[in-house]
Chain A
Amino acid sequence: DGGITQSPKYLFRKEGQNVTLSCEQNLNHDAMYWYRQDPGQGLRLIYYSQIVNDFQKGDIAEGYSVSREKKESFPLTVTSAQKNPTAFYLCASTEILGNTIYFGEGSWLTVV
């Protein structure tokens, strides 16, 4: 778990503003993921990527964008189109065809 670094830990966004959450991993994992968690709820998949320069939408991709220019990095941009972005965001990674999915420590995003 220590191999996945998310930043910032806390972020405040103003209405109409785009913000980017960083996720870096040094585990040499091929697949990376972004999940959203609302208070008292489970985790929902936003986007995932299996290889560099390729990514797919998850269940709640609207209002979010990602890039995968490097194997170790998978940043998430929360755009102004996401009307209710206040949540806990978790980045994760795993080896392709591996089993254990490791999570970063998470980022709290609040709209002010």
Chain B
Amino acid sequence: GENVEQHPSTLSVQEGDSAVIKCTYSDSASNYFPWYKQELGKRPQLIIDIRSNVGEKKDQRIAVTLNKTAKHFSLHITETQPEDSAVYFCAATAIQGAQKLVFGQGTRLTINP
């Protein structure tokens, strides 16, 4: 089955700097890669996703890149703000039948003012 590894587990950056979180996956059949943001005690919220037919996707300060050959994908947050502080999860799945999202272990991002 699919296995997703996420690094780093914790990340601290100065406000205004960029943050990068990286994930690797094992199943070459995976073709959908979402990123979720989770605040303490709340549900995960989708912030951006990418399919395997594109290499990069951007939404304002957030971007995701995908390298299918190397089986890794990354989340980039630019011009970080205090409200970006949260736990971020990457996930991977093959869109066929029921999607079984497999999640990484999460990255706790802290933005220092």
Q: Which residues of A contact B (CB under 8 A)?
A: 1, 31, 33, 40-45, 48-50, 56, 58-59, 88, 90, 94, 96-106
Contact = CB atoms under 8 A, between A and B. Distances in A.
B78 to A, nearest CB: 24
B98 A48 contact: yes
Contacts of B49: 99-100
Nearest to B49: A99
17 contacts: A33-B101, A41-B106, A42-B89, A42-B104, A43-B44, A43-B103, A45-B101, A49-B98, A50-B98, A88-B41, A96-B98, A97-B95, A98-B99, A99-B95, A100-B34, A102-B46, A103-B43
Given A48-B98, A50-B98, A97-B95, A43 B43 contact: no
Interface string B8-46: 000000000000000000000000101000000111111
Interface of B: 1, 6, 32, 34, 41-46, 49, 51, 89, 95-106
B42 A105 contact: yes
Contacts of A96: 97-98
Given A1-B43, A88-B41, 7 more contacts: A40-B106, A42-B105, A43-B103, A50-B97, A90-B43, A96-B97, A98-B99
B106 A42 contact: yes
Contact of A90 (B34, B44, B97, B105): B44
Contacts of A101: 34, 46, 99, 101
A95 B71 CA distance: 26
Contacts of B97: 50, 96-97
B89 A43 contact: yes
Nearest to B108: A40
Given A31-B98, A48-B98, A48-B100, A41 B43 contact: no
Nearest to B104: A42
B43 to A, nearest CB: 4
